Chain A
């Protein structure tokens, strides 16, 4: 079975500082990896995804993530955050043989002016 762990439930960071949101997964099969962002009272929006190829993936809004197979991690990073990045961030995995997604419990990012 697949599972996703987001180690930090809340991450406060000052505006223009860098941020890393951690995600680790466990799976006995190859997986696809995703990061979604959820703004208050809205649905989830895809930030980026890893399917294959280069382990460094660039997404929207200046975010990027690196797939590390040996550490089973897919941490999300941004070099300089904005106030508008304040939101809930979810890491997700899916088996590359199916359509079911497994989500982490989310990390609440708060950007402090």
Chain B
């Protein structure tokens, strides 16, 4: 059983470009979570999704950030018009329904130049 997959592992974007981060949850998992880890900091919750639904986006910045988890395909975290402050590691986690632990992917390290 493959774990949580994230791609790309490393992404470099110039200021003003768009970044798309993908997350494929573990097989059988219907819940996806996105976290951001800034240098020297812990993980900060961004958004929690189920298939075709955003359950909790209280941690998402109000502008430029969006997330989706379509019926088919991976979950996508989209950052429009990236700025240097968006440089961070973005982690995706997944869990089955009614579970209390989350399984993390290897992360995507976004660098904005």
Contact B102 A101 (CB under 8 A): yes
For residue B54, CB closer than 8 A to chain A, the reply is no
Binds A, one of B40-48, B65-73, B76-84: B40-48
Expressed in whole angstroms, the Cα–Cα distance for A32 and B14 within the complex equals 40
Expressed in whole angstroms, the Cα–Cα distance for A42 and B91 within the complex equals 10
| A: interface residue count bin | 20 to 34
Q: Determine the chain B residues whose CB is within 8 A of the CB of A98 once the complex forms.
A: 56
Expressed in whole angstroms, the Cα–Cα distance for A111 and B21 within the complex equals 34
Cross-chain contact of B42 among A45, A99, A105 (Cβ < 8 A): A105
For residue B63, CB closer than 8 A to chain A, the reply is no
Contact A105 B104 (CB under 8 A): no
Name the prevailing secondary structure of the B interface residues: strand
Contact B33 A36 (CB under 8 A): no
Q: Determine the chain A residues whose CB is within 8 A of the CB of B41 once the complex forms.
A: 105-106
Chain B residue at minimum C-beta to C-beta distance from A94: B100
Q: Determine the chain B residues whose CB is within 8 A of the CB of A103 once the complex forms.
A: 35, 42-44
Q: Determine the chain A residues whose CB is within 8 A of the CB of B104 once the complex forms.
A: 36, 43-45
For residue B31, CB closer than 8 A to chain A, the reply is yes
Which residues from chain A sit less than 8 Å from chain B, CB to CB?
Answer: 4, 6, 32, 34, 36, 41-46, 49, 51, 90, 92, 94, 96, 98-106
In order of increasing CB-CB distance, the 7 nearest A-B pairs are A43-B104, A103-B42, A44-B104, A105-B42, A103-B43, A43-B106, A43-B105
